[in-house]
Amino acid sequence: MGNRFFKTQILLACIFITTTSLAQESQDTKRSPSPIKNHFQTGVLLGSSNNQNKAPFSLMYSSSYLFKNQFLLGLGIAYESFREAQMPIFVRLEHPIKHGDVDVFAFTNMGYSFNLENRKAHNYQYSNLDFDSKGGWLINPGMGIKLRVGSSSKLLLSIGYRYQKIKHKAYNTYTLDNEIHYDSYNRISLHLGLEF
């Protein structure tokens, strides 16, 4: 638990330093709005497939480039509390559907989620399995809305489908063999956040 807390604090500190420096740079320049858009979102991944935690916590940060056609392309990092804590690193694609007082958009996050901790060893068929958790690929398409809350900030609300497969290598002390175990997650993602 202490290791997970320490890694979470490092992630949050990196996010804070990045957003603070970007905000300061934006204040120092008196030019047209920057094409760089930052997203900070928090939410849950609803469902119970292969997981003791029915609604894992999700904290995401991404930075994207806004093209003239309003298409966004960027990179992101996250912290998620599945059965084991994970750190997804992903590419974010966002396409506008409607502009107005309320913007509607479609998005896809896709990348790889790294396990921050190994699954705890447990008894399985009269033997003990020692796990080495590797993480796995993920994809998260969905839709959302944006509400303007300032001259350059918008409130985000999104819903999507999240699929992820996680690989665990395990040493079986009974058969003295290495085994491969997979967890597959099918989730509904709900996030609330800020674009700035």
Higher pLDDT, 124 or 70: 70
Find the mean pLDDT for residues 18-46.
69
Find the mean pLDDT for residues 50-58.
67
Find the mean pLDDT for residues 163-177.
72
The residues that bridge with 143 in the sheet, in sequence order, are 106, 159
Q: Provide the token pair at 88.
A: 């997804």
DSSP for residue 69: T
Lowest mean per-residue pLDDT among 2-16, 31-45, 67-81, 161-175? 2-16
Q: Note the pLDDT of residue 26.
A: 45
> Which among 41, 25, 4, 49 has a CA at the least distance from the CA of 144?
41
As a whole number of angstroms, the distance between CA 150 and CA 2 comes to 38
Residue 58 DSSP SS3: strand
Higher pLDDT, 184 or 141: 141
Spatial CB neighbours of 129, under 8 Å, sequence gap ≥ 6:
121, 122, 123, 170, 171, 172, 173, 179
As a whole number of angstroms, the distance between CA 166 and CA 119 comes to 11
The confidence band for 14, taking pLDDT boundaries of 50, 70 and 90, is: low
The residues that bridge with 77 in the sheet, in sequence order, are 61, 89
